[in-house]
Amino acid sequence: MNAMYEGKYPLGTALARPLIVAKTVEVARREGADAIAHGSTSKGNDQVRFDVTAKALAPDLEVLAPARVWGMGREQEIEYARRHGIPVPEAHKKYSIDENLWSRSIEGGPVDDQRLEPPEDAFKWTVQPEKAPDQPTYVEIEFEGGLPRAINGERMDMLSLVKALNQIGGAAGVGRIDHIESRLVGFKSREVYEAPAAVILFESHRDLEKLVLTPRELRFKHNVLDPYWADLIYQGLWVEPLRLAIEAAAGEMERWIDGWVKAKLYKGSVQIVARDSKYGTYSKELADYSKGWYPTDEEARGFIEMWSLHSLTALSKRSMDKK
């Protein structure tokens, strides 16, 4: 789904929440519990994602959010953990960090000042781009039905593939994201992320879609389906029925996304430098300016006349009555 919230955030945290709830409900059922709990405060997005998914999956289970009930902030939560012998990693005292396969989210502390570049100690998965190797790293990714299946000719399961891309990308300084983010709870926040695999796959997959999809499919997917899907995920609405409808429409197009993409990673940047697909609609013969197919002058003029007719008609109407 090329999911990048507001064009930038690959949604690692947001995507994880519904899954965490599903697993929590599983455990609650096994234990015969009548409630589940989470540690979100009343200020964040995560409380919404946890609560909404829990209500959908297990309406009979009560959801307890002690930090919310007791009105605790982060400092109080850390203090509470300390008093009860729950270890809190050092980095988590300075920043609020959430980490999983898809992304590492860093917020709070020094990152809260949007006028300052994030300090280097905020990052863990990526080398500082200026310290990345002076030679580019090439990685070739193969897709089948829209899903990445192999890198550099080696087939692997998706877990290994994402881990490998996080490694390769991180070493090249790829995947640092600095984002002013519209929170779903009514205010903006400055967020920093590390997501090398997500960024590489986003660029690669979108590139292959451009080769294969018709211009109409492409616009509908990139401008409508993808951002709409990302918004649902961000806003805690994984369970919203529309998600499945969007996925069905996208899935119809993804059937044809077979092929490979070559990405060039260099000091923090990702460039797609080559690609091919058996369903690709690019034709060198059609595109070539020096030979092959050429419309006649008359054909071209006729096409242009009809093509522009709507716009030119409207323009002439409006110029009669200048408002």
> b/e for 192-223, b at 16 or more Cβ within 10 A?
bbbbbbbbbbbbbbbbbbbbbbeeebbebbee
- CB nearer ligand ARG, residue 106 or residue 265: 106
- Least Å distance, CB 4 to ligand ARG, is 12
Label residue 235 exposed, middle or buried (CB < 10 Å: 0-12, 13-18, 19+). Answer: middle
Sketch the per residue contact string, 19 through 58, with ligand ARG: x for CB under 6 A, - otherwise. --------------------------xx------------
Minimum CB distance to ligand ARG, residue 45 (Å): 4
Q: Nearest approach, Cβ of 14 to ligand ARG (angstroms)? A: 4
Name the residue nearer to ligand ARG (CB basis): 97 or 174: 97
Nearer to ligand ARG, 105 or 277 (CB): 105
Q: Cα(66)–Cα(251) distance, rounded to whole angstroms?
A: 40
Q: Say which residues have a Cβ less than 8 Å from residue 318's Cβ, sequence separation at least 6.
A: none
* Among the listed residues 142, 181, 207, 254, the single contact to ligand ARG using CB under 6 A: 181
- Using the rule CB under 6 A, is 191 a contact of ligand ARG? yes
Tell me the closest approach of the beta carbon of residue 191 to ligand ARG, in angstroms.
5
Question: Residue 295 Cβ, how far from ligand ARG at the closest point, in Å?
Answer: 50
In order, the DSSP letters of 2-37 are: ---BTTTB--HHHHHHHHHHHHHHHHHHHHT-SEEE
The count of chain residues that interact with ligand ARG, using the rule CB under 6 A, is 11
d(Cα 171, Cα 134) in Å, to the nearest integer? 12
For residues 97 and 264, what is the distance between their CA atoms, to the nearest angstrom? 29
Least distance in angstroms from the C-beta of 216 to ligand ARG: 32
13 binds ligand ARG (CB under 6 A): yes
Q: Does 77 bind ligand ARG (CB under 6 A)?
A: no
Residue count (the chain)? 323
Q: In what order do the strands lie in the sheet with 147-151?
A: 154-155, 147-151, 137-144, 259-266, 269-276
Residues 14, 198, 230, 257: which binds ligand ARG (CB under 6 A)? Answer: 14
Which residues within the stretch 87-126 sit at the binding site for ligand ARG (CB under 6 A)? 96-98, 105, 107
Phi first, then psi, for residue 216 (nearest 5°) are: -75, -45
Contact footprint for ligand ARG (CB under 6 A): 13-14, 45-46, 96-98, 105, 107, 181, 191
